[in-house]
Amino acid sequence: MIPISDDNPTARVPIATIFLIVTMFAVWVLVQGAGFDERLLAASVCNLGMVPGELTRLAPLGSGVPIGPDLACVIDNQRINVLTPLLSMFLHGGWMHIIGNALFLWVFGNNIEDVMGRRRFLAFYLVCGLVAAATHVLVDPRSPIPTVGASGAISGVMGAYLVLFPRVRVRMLFWFVVFLKVIPIPAWLVLLYWFALQLLSGIPELLSPSPEMAGGVAVWAHIGGFVAGVALIRLFENPVLLQRRRDILLSHNEFDALA
């Protein structure tokens, strides 16, 4: 189930959303070699990705985890570690990872930018990403596993979308064994279903005696980012832009009804 678009027109070009997507792909190509060099990709994830155990200093120095064939990520105390919660938002682990994140950000981010303005949206995005990172560290403070990806920040955007546009239809692409079908579904159903999946995945991680080995996806970062988006949207929204946004959406719906 993949979102491909929504019935939610924007008032202006989403420059900040485009900037974030372009930046993610620029980092993917220029810093991570677009995944074609396995060692370069592993080095970028290990050195620039966020490792909870390095931030908390609860993971033993010199210990490590396998990160590829004949490759390991070793715990260190480099100064750059304090910046990894921010840097890791712009790193990815593979083509499907970055394409999926870019698609979710485009579908849900342009409308949230439309009600905040570009600067507020960028600030909101980064704050949600940092809250997501903090949640992951809090849940798994000893983990030696590096985490990368924009999904924590994008989860915050999705939480904001749930608050502001719960009834907007989102076109979801479904894969039914041998054929594809696009089905419009209310945003509240799409987003709450997604959040429920994160919770169902995250609760067993909390109960695991070794949380860092429970899985390869930082689901609690998703949960933390989503909750941050829900909680912070009213602080970051621009009332003037929000009203303009609602007027456009109302006109769009009236046009659809007459068509």
Cβ atoms of residues 108 and 124 within 8 Å: no
At 196, the amino acid letter reads A
Which tokens hold the place of 209?
Answer: 């005696």
CATH code of the domain covering residue 13: 1.20.1540.10
Cβ atoms of residues 172 and 182 within 8 Å: yes
Question: DSSP 3-state assignment of 140?
Answer: coil
Q: How far is CA 90 from CA 23, 98, 141, 195, 257, in A?
A: 7, 9, 22, 22, 41
- Residue whose tokens read 């420059």: 15
pTM, two decimal places: 0.91
Residue 216 is predicted with a pLDDT of 54
Residue 209 is predicted with a pLDDT of 59
- Residue whose tokens read 């924009």: 150
Residue 252 is predicted with a pLDDT of 66
Kindly list the strands in the beta sheet with 169-176, ordered across the sheet, starting from the edge strand earlier in the chain. Answer: 2-6, 169-176, 179-186
The neighbouring-strand residues paired with 2 are 173
Domain that holds residue 58: 2-258
Which tokens hold the place of 9?
Answer: 């027109």
| Number of domains the chain contains | 1
Residue 259 is predicted with a pLDDT of 34
- Taking the C-alpha atoms of residue 177 and residue 163, their distance in angstroms, rounded to an integer, is 33
Residue 16: partners with Cβ closer than 8 Å, 6 or more residues away: 113, 118, 119, 121, 122, 125
Half-sphere exposure at residue 127, Cβ-oriented, CA atoms within 13 angstroms: 17
- Residue whose tokens read 């809250």: 131
Render each residue's pLDDT in the chain as its tens digit; 259 residues.
789 999 988 888 999 999 999 999 999 999 999 999 999 999 999 999 999 999 999 999 988 888 877 888 999 999 999 999 999 999 999 999 999 999 999 999 999 999 999 999 999 999 999 999 999 999 989 999 999 999 999 999 999 999 999 999 999 998 877 778 899 999 999 999 999 999 998 888 777 655 554 445 689 999 999 999 999 999 999 999 888 877 777 776 654 433 3
